[in-house]
Amino acid sequence: MTTPRIQPLQLLIVDPQNDFCDIPGATLPVTGADADMKRLAALVDQAGGAIADIVVTLDSHAVYAIERPAFWQVPGDDGTGEAPQPVAPFTQIKAEDVRAGRFAPRDAALREPVLAYLDALEASPKKYILMVWPTHCVVGTWGHNVHAELAAALGRWEAARLRTVEKVLKGQNPMTEQYSAVRAEVPIASDPRTQTHRALVDRIVDFPGLTFIAGEASSHCVAATAEDLFGEMSAERLGRVVLIEDAMSPVGGFEAGAGAFVERARALGVRTMTAAQALGLLSA
């Protein structure tokens, strides 16, 4: 009788943070994320010694940044004495809006750099339009913390394996958005934090076993991070990646984008499974 071969397992967990979970106090809750993180915590516990490596990315911001309400205003009218007005979360802003005076940075000195950024963003391969998100994942706050049940499971793994979870911060430069942990949407030449995170790419791409990917949200940061990594992988390596579909959920209103991401991944040879199905691979 042959003994089943246990494949080494790597977990890449994207932004499993309180502010993205549908729990009291979250500022950008994703419906289903709390249950996702609980399933993921159970997977960490149940996979046991098969897990050789865990990488957790953390959305890491200040209150003031280009994709946050504190950065923007609707200009007032000096002729009538109308005061500038705040910009509501979930507002999209294009370069043409700034040129037309519909929106403006609160710091007037940043108008030209902001226009250059928006032009570059809209011309990028992903053709993003800047979204003003609710203030979320501010470093040092409860919202930045990892979901409690998952954090506890990660701690148990560290204690059992005598290893540490690698935590990767992203989104720290206030003048560029960063959905992907691999690089910012518009990298800034003077800030290495916004450029390709070569150590992260190599750690994932060169891993010799299976890589499970999960986290929040499937429509944005999971998709952006995964697709940047997929672009560095061979067909053989893509075949050793599994998206854990019941451990990620989309931002409300962006379900179609999440579905399109999953279909693109499948077309590349990436597998999609539930957490329970994925556990069965470890002894296959």
- Domain-wise residue ranges, the chain: 9-62+136-283, 69-132
When pLDDT is cut at 50, 70 and 90, the band that residue 4 belongs to is very low
When pLDDT is cut at 50, 70 and 90, the band that residue 51 belongs to is very high
Residue 223's contacts (CB-CB under 8 Å, 6 or more residues apart) are 179, 257, 258, 261
pLDDT at 2: 41
Buried b (16+ CB within 10 A) or exposed e, 99-110: eeeebbbeeeee
Q: Is the pLDDT of residue 167 over 70?
A: yes
The mean pLDDT value of the chain amounts to: 95
- CATH among 3.40.50.850, 3.90.400.10, 3.90.1150.10, 1.10.10.10 for 9-62+136-283: 3.40.50.850
What is the separation of C-alpha 154 from the centre of its chain, rounded to a whole number of angstroms? 19
Q: Parallel, antiparallel, or unpaired for β 72-74 and 104-105?
A: antiparallel
Among 2-6, 21-25, 244-248, 275-279, the range scoring the smallest mean pLDDT is: 2-6
pLDDT at 34: 98
When pLDDT is cut at 50, 70 and 90, the band that residue 176 belongs to is very high
pLDDT at 171: 96
When pLDDT is cut at 50, 70 and 90, the band that residue 283 belongs to is low
When pLDDT is cut at 50, 70 and 90, the band that residue 282 belongs to is confident
Tokens of 72: 């923007």
Residues 64, 169: contact at Cβ < 8 Å?
Answer: no
